[in-house]
């Protein structure tokens, strides 16, 4: 069999998830909550099913949900998206990313990806016969080296993939990044694919600099979001994207034949809970408390923690403690200490090993404290 992705194995989240289960480790690996969602959300889904909403939803998404998304973007970021042709409900943020790349990237196009990068980005690009142009974020702050981006932009650059707040580093874009990005993309036909699934998880009173906040960027951006991350229901597989109509038209052409539509009763439930903005407006404080709890519980650990400005994640350096690769270290933490994390080398196309691991604090407080106690013995 001639593989279309010869260099790709099983995603690190599945590999570590299985190892974690096998050793019954405390799981700080996958960025998925281990605590329940709002019971009202489950009630709404149940009510929707009982009311007979069990057949296909509209291809573009339930109108009430698209309208709620457009209203939120307007209220929080000041950008007006037309819910009719600029907002689409997707069967997960992953599907939104995949449909956008498939629709907009041609064979031979170049796509700039910042590494460490979420592990699905590069394979999505390669599947189009396009070329991944990796740009490494500058450790230890993991800032974007804009000079290097400028040098790597070519007439074949079709897309720049952004992710803010950033998985796995927990960094967020700031004003200077927005200015640089605007300068580099102005008067080009470069599309920005902006993964903003942690848009409501930005800490310490900082602003989320999503593309919708900046008109010059919004006009060339496909913004991707996640209901799973926002409402603690990652297993529901409902996400969305927003983009100017001309871009969205193309994305929908792929979405309609990949998934056709997202889950119907879940969309009804989400449309209802979107009417209660406290749910997502309180998310930053909710996760900041978890970040602080974990950081505090690890203050006696020998791991060197990086700050986290947003997302569900923080990075920890271990290079001063052992000569192992990050994968070996992660496996030993699971086997000998009963805590699972993610090796950050999995987020580099060339396997760069900065001897850093990713910890997820999207866990209940007892889990975070128990994991920290174990990690303090490392």
Nearer Cβ to ligand GLN (167/301): 167
Nearer Cβ to ligand GLN (13/348): 13
Minimal distance, residue 93 CB to ligand GLN, in Å: 8
Please spell the DSSP secondary structure of 331-361, one letter per residue: HHIIIII-EE-EEGGGG-TT----SEEEEE-
Minimal distance, residue 31 CB to ligand GLN, in Å: 3
Minimal distance, residue 120 CB to ligand GLN, in Å: 7
Minimal distance, residue 30 CB to ligand GLN, in Å: 4
Nearer Cβ to ligand GLN (30/308): 30
CB 353, CB 325: distance < 8 Å: yes
Chain position whose Cβ is nearest to ligand GLN: 31
Minimal distance, residue 35 CB to ligand GLN, in Å: 16
Does 331 sit near ligand GLN (CB under 6 A)? no
Range 4-33, binding ligand GLN (CB under 6 A): 13, 30-31
Range 28-57, binding ligand GLN (CB under 6 A): 30-31
Minimal distance, residue 98 CB to ligand GLN, in Å: 12
Nearer Cβ to ligand GLN (11/275): 11
114 membership: H or E segment, kind and range:
strand 110-115
Minimal distance, residue 13 CB to ligand GLN, in Å: 3
Tokens of 341: 């994390």
Minimal distance, residue 119 CB to ligand GLN, in Å: 8
Does 167 sit near ligand GLN (CB under 6 A)? yes
369 CB neighbour count, 10 Å cutoff: 15
SS (H, E, C) the chain: CCCCCCCCCCCHHHHHHHHHHHCCCEECCCCCCCCCCCHHHHHHHHHHHHCCCCCCCCCCCCHHHHHHHHHHHHHHHCCCCCCCCCEEEECCHHHHHHHHHHHHCCCCCEEEEEECCCCCHHHHHHCCCCEEEEEECECCCCECCHHHHHHHCCCCEEEEEEECCCCCCCCCCCHHHHHHHHHHHCCCCCEEEEECCCCCCECCCCCCCCHHHCHHHHCCEEEEEEHHHHHCCHHHCCEEEECCHHHHHHHHHHHHHHCCCCCHHHHHHHHHHCCCCHHHHCHHHHHHHHHHHHHHHCCCCCCEECCCCECCEEEEECCCCCCCCHHHHHHHHHHHHCEECEEHHHHCCCCCCCCEEEEECCCCHHHHHHHHHHHCCC
Minimal distance, residue 199 CB to ligand GLN, in Å: 14
What is the C-alpha to C-alpha distance for residues 62 and 272, in angstroms, rounded to an integer? 11
| Residue count, binding to ligand GLN (CB under 6 A) | 4
Range 193-232, binding ligand GLN (CB under 6 A): none
Nearer Cβ to ligand GLN (13/23): 13
Nearer Cβ to ligand GLN (185/194): 194
Nearer Cβ to ligand GLN (181/346): 346
Minimal distance, residue 5 CB to ligand GLN, in Å: 16
Nearer Cβ to ligand GLN (165/265): 165
Nearer Cβ to ligand GLN (208/214): 208
Nearer Cβ to ligand GLN (31/265): 31
- Give residues in contact with ligand GLN (CB under 6 A): 13, 30-31, 167
């Amino acid at each position: 069999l001639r593989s279309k992705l010869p260099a790709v194995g099983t995603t690190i989240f599945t590999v570590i998830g299985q190892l974690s289960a096998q050793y019954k480790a405390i799981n700080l690996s996958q960025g998925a909550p281990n605590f329940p969602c709002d019971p009202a959300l489950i009630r709404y889904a149940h009510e929707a099913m009982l009311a007979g909403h069990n057949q296909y939803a509209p291809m573009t998404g339930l109108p009430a949900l698209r309208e709620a998304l457009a209203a939120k973007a307007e209220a929080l970021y000041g950008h007006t998206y037309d819910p009719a042709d600029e907002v689409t409900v997707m069967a997960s943020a992953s599907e939104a990313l995949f449909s956008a790349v498939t629709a907009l990237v041609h064979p031979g196009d170049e796509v700039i990806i910042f590494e460490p990068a979420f592990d699905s980005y590069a394979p999505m690009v390669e599947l189009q016969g396009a070329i991944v142009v990796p740009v490494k974020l500058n450790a230890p702050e993991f800032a974007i080296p804009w000079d290097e981006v400028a040098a790597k932009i070519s007439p074949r650059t079709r897309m720049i993939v952004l992710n803010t707040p950033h998985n796995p580093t927990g960094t967020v874009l700031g004003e200077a990044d927005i200015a640089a990005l605007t300068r580099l993309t102005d008067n080009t036909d470069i599309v920005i694919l902006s993964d903003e699934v942690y848009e409501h998880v930005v800490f310490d009173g900082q602003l989320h600099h999503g593309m919708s906040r900046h008109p010059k960027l919004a006009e060339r951006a496909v913004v991707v979001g996640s209901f799973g991350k926002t409402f603690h229901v990652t297993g529901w597989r409902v996400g969305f994207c927003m983009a100017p109509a001309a871009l969205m038209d193309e994305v929908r052409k792929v979405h309609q034949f990949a998934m056709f539509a997202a889950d119907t009763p879940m969309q009804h439930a989400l449309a209802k809970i979107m009417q209660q903005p406290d749910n997502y407006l309180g998310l930053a404080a909710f996760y900041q408390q978890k970040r602080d709890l974990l950081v505090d519980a690890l203050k006696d650990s020998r791991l060197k923690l990086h700050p986290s400005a947003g997302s569900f994640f923080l990075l920890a350096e271990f290079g001063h403690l052992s000569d192992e690769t990050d994968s070996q270290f992660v496996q030993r933490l699971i086997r000998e200490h009963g805590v699972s994390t993610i090796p950050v080398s999995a987020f580099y196309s060339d396997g760069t090993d900065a001897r850093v691991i990713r910890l997820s604090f999207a866990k209940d407080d007892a889990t975070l404290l128990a994991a920290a106690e174990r990690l303090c013995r490392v």
